[in-house]
Amino acid sequence: MDRIISQLHQISQGTGIPITVGEAVESSTVAMGLSDQKNTLLVQGMILDQAVLFLVYNGQRALRPVVLFPQIKQSTNTPIVLLATQLSTVERREYLRHLLPFMTSDGEMFLPFMGTRLLPGLVTEQQVLPPDKLAPAEQRLALTLVMAQLIFERSPEHAQTRPELAAFSTANDRFLIKSGQRFADTIGKQVNINNRVTFNRAAKQLVARGWLKALGETKDRVYACQFNSRRLFEQIAPFLTSPVQNANRVQFAEFPTSTIADDFLYSGVSALSKVTMISDNQALPTIIIDRTQRQKVLSAGQSQLGAASGCEVQVSKYQLDGFNRLFKQIQDYPENVLDPFHLYALYQDDRDGRTQGEVEELVDQIWNGA
């Protein structure tokens, strides 16, 4: 409740529109299922002199408010207003299409029952949505935000003392990137977004998707997103793409060899077998390396053509070891194993229901525990 009061106070100050908050409404008194009652908060309030019912949905079902609004209207004649931190491009488009009133922390406001559409200058509707899948730089930035939020959620004191996390801060329900240059100079070095040009290109696409908001002028621009790692991941998950560029089978005299011992991560089923209950019955282990290491590994293998052992070598689209180090700040995890989010991206479209189920459970346990 305190968070809602703070959020509405922020919106009121930013827009100059008087907003007051009243009493919470018991969800059990409204026509909703038990799951929706658990994930929905209803609060009475006033916008100017108009009584409203603010709705906050904390569940993971995308666009669920579109279903909830007609149900709740059966129990009240008071206009309902969805209260959100920010909306993705898809969410905004669907809520406008269904004439669903909303207010966001960014100042977006659609209140058709009051004759208020959208505050000028705050919303630019995209005529063309970005591609279905994330580009490599986009994906690196999006997953970095998810992991950084997890660290801030679980260990805020730890997060504030880590130099690589100095580009981030929190403000009520928002997660902030202080500047693109600050990002590139700190955490960017770890996730291969180590210059402002790469950051700006990736951030521009995330803004177009509605996952980030750009605030301020170019020189002092701050980027903001909702401070909710689970919801952010749920938004980006359908757009993730496999981190693997290509794969080769390489023979070595022994594995792992000193040539690559410090430069690889276990991937595929070999990785899953180390962090889930799945068994690795493959003849060869699977590792993943980045393109800069490819020639060194292949050369080492070619010099051992008569070897009896070897491995399946995947070449990644970008460096991945930094994400492993970042995830280890969230929870205990092996040093040389592909992180859960990239394993999810690797297997989310896999036809084998066994591996697909394992990666989904692996990611789910990050928030829900074992």
The yes-or-no verdict on residue 366 having pLDDT over 90 is: yes
- Considering the entire predicted model, what is its pTM? 0.71
Highest mean pLDDT among 48-52, 117-121, 130-134, 359-363 belongs to 359-363
Dump pLDDT digits (tens) for 252-285.
555 555 555 566 899 999 999 999 988 877 667 8
pLDDT value of residue 117: 59
pLDDT value of residue 307: 46
Is residue 111 within 8 A of residue 83, CB to CB? The reply is no
Q: Which fold has domain 136-239?
A: Arc Repressor Mutant, subunit A (1.10.10)
pLDDT value of residue 301: 56
* DSSP element (H, E) containing 55: strand 50-57
The yes-or-no verdict on residue 292 having pLDDT over 70 is: yes
Q: What is the mean pLDDT of residues 342-352?
A: 88
pLDDT value of residue 129: 52
More confident residue, 260 or 340: 340
pLDDT value of residue 295: 65
The yes-or-no verdict on residue 171 having pLDDT over 50 is: yes
Q: What is the mean pLDDT of residues 222-228?
A: 91
Question: Cα(190)–Cα(147) distance, rounded to whole angstroms?
Answer: 13
Q: Which token pair is 239? A: 């757009």
pLDDT value of residue 351: 76
Q: What is the mean pLDDT of residues 323-352?
A: 92
Percentage of the chain with pLDDT > 90?
Answer: 39
Q: Which of 47, 41, 123, 51 shows the shortest CA–CA distance to 84?
A: 41
Question: Among 12-26, 38-52, 69-83, 90-104, which is the least confidently predicted range?
Answer: 12-26
The yes-or-no verdict on residue 174 having pLDDT over 60 is: yes
More confident residue, 58 or 309: 58
Q: β-strands 244-252, 174-177: how paired?
A: unpaired
Question: In the β-sheet with 265-266, what is the strand arrangement from edge to edge?
Answer: 244-252, 309-316, 286-289, 265-266
Residue 218 pLDDT grade (very low, low, confident, very high; cuts 50, 70, 90): low
Is residue 73 within 8 A of residue 65, CB to CB? The reply is no
The yes-or-no verdict on residue 75 having pLDDT over 90 is: no
Question: Among 4-18, 93-107, 126-140, which is the least confidently predicted range?
Answer: 126-140
Distances (CA, A) of 81 to 25, 126, 253: 14, 23, 66
3-state secondary structure of 186: coil
Q: Which token pair is 325? A: 């180090």
DSSP per position, 122-167? T----SSPPPSS--HHHHHHHHHHHHHHHHHHH-HHHHHH-GGGTT
Q: What is the mean pLDDT of residues 76-92?
A: 87
Report whether the peptide linkage leading into residue 112 is cis, meaning its omega lies within 30 degrees of zero: no
3-state secondary structure of 279: coil
Q: What is the mean pLDDT of residues 161-185?
A: 92
Give residue limits of the domains in the chain: 2-114, 136-239, 244-364
More confident residue, 250 or 73: 73
Distances (CA, A) of 31 to 26, 75, 82, 159, 354: 11, 7, 17, 41, 38
Mean pLDDT over each residue of the chain, to the nearest integer: 83
Question: Cα(65)–Cα(223) distance, rounded to whole angstroms?
Answer: 26
Residue 298 pLDDT grade (very low, low, confident, very high; cuts 50, 70, 90): low
The yes-or-no verdict on residue 125 having pLDDT over 50 is: no
pLDDT value of residue 345: 94
pLDDT value of residue 121: 44
